[in-house]
Amino acid sequence: MYVWVQAFHVIAVICWFAALFYLPRLFVYHAMAEDEISNERFKVMERKLYRGIATPSMVATLVLGGVMAWTAWDYFSRAGWFHTKMLLVLALVIYHHMCLYHMKKFRDDANNRSHVYFRWFNEVPVIMLVGIVILVVVKPF
């Protein structure tokens, strides 16, 4: 059963990261939009991506990861790499909620950030992904 939980955890992680890569990219284009039709279209796309893919994938990732950690807690509680990974996952959850904050600003037509800010903001999950994968695969400590 553990391998099935692990497989669905990896699938959920991939879906979550896909959404976290694409949502800030939508913010880039939304910040550059100058007409009302584009502005409204981006609002719909962002809302559907966040609610329909990003958040359910995050929840599935956390639940399935929690199940895996619980079933082998003796090992994970002593693994330094796991604790560091959990800090990165916590940072990723915070990033996820920062996306919600920005999405609400766009929804309310109150965004005051430039497309350049969102281009940099878009790089954060890449850095987190690199760190998490290295920690899980290499287990450096």
pLDDT, tens only, 12-56: 999 999 999 999 999 999 999 999 999 999 999 999 999 999 999
pLDDT band at 1 (very low <50, low <70, confident <90, very high): confident
Report the number of distinct structural domains present in the chain.
1
Q: DSSP assignment, residue 53?
A: I
Positive/negative CA dihedral, 112, 117, 122, 125: negative
Assign 3-state DSSP to the chain and report helix, strand, coil percentages, each to 5: 85, 0, 15
Yes or no: say if 102 and 27 are a contact pair by the CB < 8 Å rule. Answer: yes
| Full-model pTM | 0.95
**Taking the mean position of all CA atoms in its chain, how far away is CA 139?**
22
* Average pLDDT value for residue range 57-84: 97
- 112, 88, 20, 12: CA torsion to nearest 10: -150
Distances (CA, A) of 76 to 23, 103, 122: 32, 35, 31
Distances (CA, A) of 119 to 7, 20, 105, 108: 32, 13, 17, 21
